[in-house]
Amino acid sequence: MPRFSMHHTVERLDKPSSYALSKYKKKPRNRDDPLPSTDRAPSPTGEERLANASTLYIGNLSFYTTEDQIHELFSKTGPIRRIVMGLDRYTKTPCGFCFVEYYTSTDAKDCLKFLSGTKLDERLIRCDIDEGFTEGRQYGRGKSGGQVRDEYREEFDPGRGGFGKRAGPGTGEEFGEGM
């Protein structure tokens, strides 16, 4: 009698995104590098760190979303240790993302399963497992101080509350004025 193997057609919802995993792909080792010490325990791999992570990156937020709104929504899946709002590097105003840190990785994974794709301030939010917040990551990485993705938009996004890139030098139309 033939044996059948079962294949899942649905991806797990509580796993890190391919982007998060791609940050940890192994690079080829330089043969001139000394071998790692066998005296100490090996450090956890990126996948292991993500599997035990209790921090979530939350993206596609409106610039007007408050920390209280985030706390109200995300505390439904477990107690929150802290929320770190993403800020424009220069103006120190919200720029559309945040980090939500839970006390346990189970609560973070529950949040990922149940709240990713939820609407908050009329925006579909994106949740992803994160390795953990470190100081400095709360600032946007774009040249203008905000998120990089906002520099590629050319129009005002009323749902997000932010402007795209400048229309061009010398046109008099900066940040969507005159449109």
Instruction: For the beta carbon of residue 20, count every other beta carbon within 10 angstroms.
Output: 19
Tell me how far apart the alpha carbons of residues 113 and 14 are, in angstroms, rounded to a whole number: 5
Tell me how far apart the alpha carbons of residues 88 and 96 are, in angstroms, rounded to a whole number: 9
Can you give the pLDDT at residue 23?
A: 60
pLDDT in tens, the chain (179 residues): 566 665 555 555 566 666 666 665 555 545 555 545 445 555 566 677 788 889 999 988 988 999 999 999 999 999 999 999 988 778 888 888 899 999 999 999 999 999 989 999 888 999 988 887 767 666 655 444 444 455 555 555 555 555 545 433 333 344 444 44
User: How far does the chain reach from its first CA to its final CA, in angstroms?
Assistant: 70
Tell me how far apart the alpha carbons of residues 55 and 43 are, in angstroms, rounded to a whole number: 19
Tell me how far apart the alpha carbons of residues 117 and 149 are, in angstroms, rounded to a whole number: 18
CATH homologous superfamily of 46-151 equals: RRM (RNA recognition motif) domain (3.30.70.330)
Give residue 49's identity as a one-letter amino acid code.
R
Can you give the pLDDT at residue 118?
A: 92
